[in-house]
Amino acid sequence: MQNARLKRKLMNELGGYLFTLPVLLGVLIFTYYPAVQSLIYSFFEYDGFVQMNPVGFRNFIRIFTLDRETGTVFLNTFVYAVITVPLGLVLGYSLALLANTRIRGISAFRVLFYLPVIIPGVSAGILWRDLFDPTFGIMAQIFRILGLPEPTFFAEASTSMATLVWTTTWSMGGGMVIWLAAFKNIPAALYESARLDGAGYFRQLFSITIPLSTPMIFYNLVTSVIGTLQIFSTMIIAGGTSGRGVDNSLYFIAVKIYNEAFTRGSMGYASALAWVLFAIIAVLTVVMFMSNRWVQYSEDNG
Amino acid sequence: MTQTVKTGPAAAAAIHKKARRKVLLKRALIYAGLSLVAVYLVFPYVFMLSRSFMSERYISNLPIKFFPNAEGFSLEGYRVLFVENNYFQYLFNTVKIMAINIVAVPIAASLCAYGFAKVRFSGNKIIFAMMMSTLMIPGTVTQVPLYVLFSDLGWTQDIRPLVIPALFGGGAINIFLLVQFMRNVPNELENAARIDGANMFQRYLFITIPLCGPILLYVAVNVFSGTWSDFYGPLIYLKSEDAYTLAVAIYYDCVGPRADLNAINTQMAAGVFMSFLPAVVFLVYQRKLVDGIMIGAIKG
């Protein structure tokens, strides 16, 4: 009897490690090893092949002093994140509220709202270039019809960031799906008793719906901050041949890291930049977790 | 007495009519709002589709037309794509990478998830924590050493960097979702199967996996859209033109150094061509996705 139990326990040990072996190896090979390597590279001048000279903190010093592009790329990325993260949350949430209306045909509207999200980034990128062409784009024509001043969109440094932010409004359906699921988890009884107490739509919204979806709001906030700071694909396409936009106005950190590593072959410097970005993301994440007292976790799914 | 009998129903009808009108008005306003938002969100893509069927001359005429007339209609954009360029080759390349991932990730991820959710062993918690920790490390940090690693291994000549990682579960999120789902699968069936002499692998394959259909489908769809629109990986690793995926081919042709697709109709056709399969998958799958049924199922 005891022997059988011991045997079963051993089988469990063996089986457990065997089943989880892929992910254990994957974590070690594809995350831990490269993360450590990257930190080491950041103290070297390294071309990715043979040349590897130790340079101490010189890469980091260069980021903050000699490299004139650093200020631009960090500023662009932060401005973009500071605008698009809250904008995306608010628009996605409002869209979900609209799509949550109980009305005939609402499913068809939800499909239409979500459609832009499934368009691959590269397709969307070339579409924005055409749509926002200052002469032959449909947006310029709409501006003309409405009697607005002649737009410049991506063609001028002063308007390219605003144009890029504008294009993000088309993907607000991405957040919608998550919010709709969150709304489903709110007990209907809460709304019933609120209605009996005479609460109107907005009272219910601010007293029930929003407070009870704060855990999801927080989750979305953290993931979109982390994701937005590393954004790459739309930028490099909207940014034109150089991937930087007019006068570096759309030059983002991730594109800069890509250029340093794969265009100039400065693997060490690119790694140092990546670690600075990592540090910023880590600090922001800690700050967000420390200031999450506004999040209301309910007892059952806390 | 007689008066009240007479006016009662009439007054009620009047009130009823007024209330009904109010409801109808409210409904009309909601539909108007929904339609307005839908038009705003969808018109760029309809425009892309419509412009892909216009002739180059028709496109360059001002003012811009939304739909082509008989004279402006042209398949030139698609001809350039398929006859002058190798877009079927790029489609095939993309499908190849996607197909390997879409098979390998659910298999590897479900094996790991079963270990975490159903097997009690000493390393369970620590390996799970290690896996979750990878979510904190941004991809920008690991990409340079990974590139060096893959090129040292001699893998950068082909698609191996884009498919081998799938064999290891394809990332923490998929495994995490599967673990959450499997934890909600009752253990009674497992125990009964064990008593009947089924070993651990048989219980995984014949008991747990058949119950995980919805979540495996969800993971597969995620893998599909992830690999289909992946731009960064192919951009770094695919050096030869024969191996290009749609994402990099379109980038190089429309924006980057090759610039083979100068005409707007061809660029739009390329965009439509790349979006076609995701749109089909989405339309087949939309009810489950958009109504949040899948995510509800995950949260259990």
| A119-171 per-position pLDDT tens digit | 888 888 888 888 888 888 888 888 888 988 888 888 888 888 888 899 889 98
In this structure, are B87 and B197 located in the same domain?
yes
> Strand (E) positions, chain A?
44-46, 52-54
- A30–B146: do the CB atoms touch at under 8 Å? yes
H and E: helices and strands count for chain B: 16, 0
Question: What is residue B2's predicted lDDT score, i.e. its pLDDT?
Answer: 44
Give the Cα separation of B7 and B9 in Å (integer).
Answer: 6
In this structure, are B174 and B208 located in the same domain?
yes
In this structure, are B113 and B139 located in the same domain?
yes
In this structure, are B110 and B134 located in the same domain?
yes
Which residue in the set B60, B139, B229 is minimally distant from A121, CB to CB?
B229
CA distance A154 to chain B (A): 14
The one-letter amino acid code at A105 reads G
* Residues in contact with A278: Cβ distance below 8 Å, sequence separation at least 6, in sequence order: B137, B138, B140, B141
b/e map B257-287, b = 16+ CB within 10 Å? eeeebebbbbbbbbbbbbbebbeebbeebbe
Residue A181 at interface with chain B, using a CB cutoff of 8 Å: yes
- A277–B278: do the CB atoms touch at under 8 Å? no
Which residues of chain B from 232 to 261 reach within 8 Å of chain A, CB to CB?
232, 236, 246-247, 250-251, 254-257
CB contact at 8 A, B196 and B136: no
Give the Cα separation of B87 and B115 in Å (integer).
Answer: 42
CA distance A211 to chain B (A): 19
Which residue in the set A27, A118, A229 is minimally distant from B134, CB to CB?
A27
In this structure, are B14 and B98 located in the same domain?
no
Whether residue B129 has pLDDT greater than 70 = yes
Give A244 or A9, the one with higher predicted confidence. Answer: A9
Where does a domain end: B61, B76, B91?
A: B76
In this structure, are B139 and B65 located in the same domain?
no
For residues B62-71, average pLDDT: 78
CA B45 and chain centroid, separation: 17
Question: What is residue A241's predicted lDDT score, i.e. its pLDDT?
Answer: 60
- Kindly state the percentage of chain A with pLDDT values over 90: 19
Whether residue B3 has pLDDT greater than 50 = no
Question: What is residue A271's predicted lDDT score, i.e. its pLDDT?
Answer: 92
Residues of A in contact with B254 (CB under 8 A): 126, 129, 237
Give A93 or B289, the one with higher predicted confidence. Answer: A93
pLDDT band per the 50, 70, 90 thresholds, residue A298: low
**pLDDT tens digits, residue range A97-112?**
898 888 888 888 888 8
Which residue in the set A34, A111, A237 is minimally distant from B146, CB to CB?
A34
**Rg (Cα) of chain B, in Å, rounded?**
28
The DSSP secondary-structure symbol of B159 reads S
Host domain of residue B181: 83-299
H and E: helices and strands count for chain A: 16, 2
Q: Which range, of A1-10, A123-132, B19-28, averages the lowest pLDDT?
A: A1-10
CA distance A253 to chain B (A): 10
Give the Cα separation of A214 and A212 in Å (integer).
Answer: 6
Average pLDDT over all residues of chain A = 85
In this structure, are B44 and B162 located in the same domain?
no
Where does a domain end: B76, B106, B137?
A: B76
**pLDDT tens digits, residue range A13-42?**
999 999 999 999 999 999 999 999 999 989
Find the closest chain B residue to A257 by CA distance. B140
CATH number, residue B281: 1.10.3720.10
In this structure, are B25 and B140 located in the same domain?
no
Residues of A in contact with B268 (CB under 8 A): 126-127, 130
Which of these, B141, B152, B139, lies nearest to A270 by C-alpha position? Answer: B141
Question: What is residue B290's predicted lDDT score, i.e. its pLDDT?
Answer: 60
For residues A65-89, average pLDDT: 89
CB contact at 8 A, B269 and B249: no
In this structure, are B98 and B198 located in the same domain?
yes
Residue A158 at interface with chain B, using a CB cutoff of 8 Å: no
Where does a domain end: B76, B105, B135?
A: B76
**pLDDT tens digits, residue range B36-64?**
999 999 999 999 998 888 887 787 777 87
Domains within chain A, CATH numbers bracketed = 2-59 (no CATH), 65-290 (1.10.3720.10)
Which residues of chain B from 274 to 293 reach within 8 Å of chain A, CB to CB?
274-275, 278-279, 281-283, 286-287, 289-292
Question: What is residue B110's predicted lDDT score, i.e. its pLDDT?
Answer: 93
Question: What is residue B289's predicted lDDT score, i.e. its pLDDT?
Answer: 67
In this structure, are B138 and B153 located in the same domain?
yes
Counting one residue from chain A and one from chain B, the pairs whose CB atoms sit within 8 A come to: 288
Give the Cα separation of A161 and A164 in Å (integer).
Answer: 5
Give the Cα separation of B290 and B281 in Å (integer).
Answer: 13
Q: Which range, of A173-187, B152-166, B198-212, averages the lowest pLDDT?
A: A173-187
Residues of A in contact with B116 (CB under 8 A): 20
Question: What is residue A239's predicted lDDT score, i.e. its pLDDT?
Answer: 62
Residues of B in contact with A141 (CB under 8 A): 62-64
Give B2 or A234, the one with higher predicted confidence. Answer: A234
The one-letter amino acid code at B107 reads I
The residue whose two tokens read 């005939």 is A104
Q: Which range, of A232-246, A279-293, B243-257, averages the lowest pLDDT?
A: A232-246
Question: Can you say whether the dihedral through the CA atoms of B29, A85, A34, B146 is positive or negative?
Answer: positive
Find the closest chain A residue to B222 by CA distance. A118
Give the Cα separation of A41 and B237 in Å (integer).
Answer: 20
The domain total for chain B is: 2
Question: B172-183 vs B124-133: helix axis angle to the nearest 10?
Answer: 140
CB contact at 8 A, A238 and B97: no
* Residues in contact with A184: Cβ distance below 8 Å, sequence separation at least 6, in sequence order: B292, B296
